[in-house]
């Protein structure tokens, strides 16, 4: 197992935590705007990203690599509305997908079966993540800023468990 591959996973582990940080800022924004359902939903997203980082930490430890935590960037806190938040979330997920695919490609090039198998879960997970945000964007575009629609959607998002 190459050092380069392990460092890429370590880098991604840090980026998953960065993702949690970005979603935390989105949660705070939704909460400030009194959209409790969106805030709950983004709070759930924060926990998922921490779990992703934990999966990578565990894998690195299992193969004998000491995980290294790096400084995080301050998350974006500039949002115009919920559609803007969701579009920025999708952009972020696309960047995550790009990085995951780079790891998968490097693992295949090195013929590293353990990393190929490990990273496949994340490849699949990213399909789901992008689809989830894509659907939310479609719904918000249809609602088109109408408060009645926004509150119905907010009520539905409150039930994410």
Region binding Fe ion by CB under 5 A among candidate stretches 13-21, 23-31, 54-62, 109-117: 13-21
Inter-residue contact 152 to 42 (CB < 8 Å)? no
Inter-residue contact 138 to 87 (CB < 8 Å)? no
Region binding Fe ion by CB under 5 A among candidate stretches 32-40, 50-58, 109-117, 133-141: 50-58
Site for Fe ion in 16-35 (CB under 5 A): 16
Least separation in angstroms between residue 93's CB and Fe ion is 8
Nearest residue relative to Fe ion (C-beta): 52
Region binding Fe ion by CB under 5 A among candidate stretches 42-50, 84-92, 111-119, 151-159: 42-50
Least separation in angstroms between residue 129's CB and Fe ion is 7
Among 25, 42, 52, 82, binds Fe ion (CB under 5 A): 52
SS3 for 105-148 is: HHHHHHCCHHHHHHHHHHHHHHHHHHHHHHHHHHHHHHHCCCHH
Site for Fe ion in 97-136 (CB under 5 A): none
Dihedral angle over CA of 118, 123, 128, 133, nearest 10: 120
Neighbouring C-beta atoms of residue 89, cutoff 10 Å: 22
Residues that bind Fe ion (CB under 5 A): 16, 49, 52
């Amino acid at each position: 197992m190459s050092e380069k591959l392990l460092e890429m996973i370590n880098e991604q582990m840090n980026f998953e935590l960065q993702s949690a940080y970005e979603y935390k800022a989105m949660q705070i924004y939704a909460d400030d705007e009194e959209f409790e359902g969106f805030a709950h939903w983004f709070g759930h997203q924060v926990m998922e990203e921490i779990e992703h980082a934990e999966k990578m930490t565990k894998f690195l430890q299992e193969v004998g690599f000491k995980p290294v935590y790096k400084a995080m960037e301050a998350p974006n806190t500039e949002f115009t509305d919920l559609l803007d938040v969701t579009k920025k979330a999708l952009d972020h997920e696309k960047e995550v997908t790009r990085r995951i695919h780079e790891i998968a490609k490097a693992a295949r090039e090195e013929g590293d079966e353990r990393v190929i198998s490990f990273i496949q879960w994340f490849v699949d997970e990213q399909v789901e993540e992008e689809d989830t945000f894509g659907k939310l964007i479609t719904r918000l575009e249809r609602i088109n800023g109408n408060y009645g629609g926004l509150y119905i959607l907010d009520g539905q998002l409150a039930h994410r468990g």
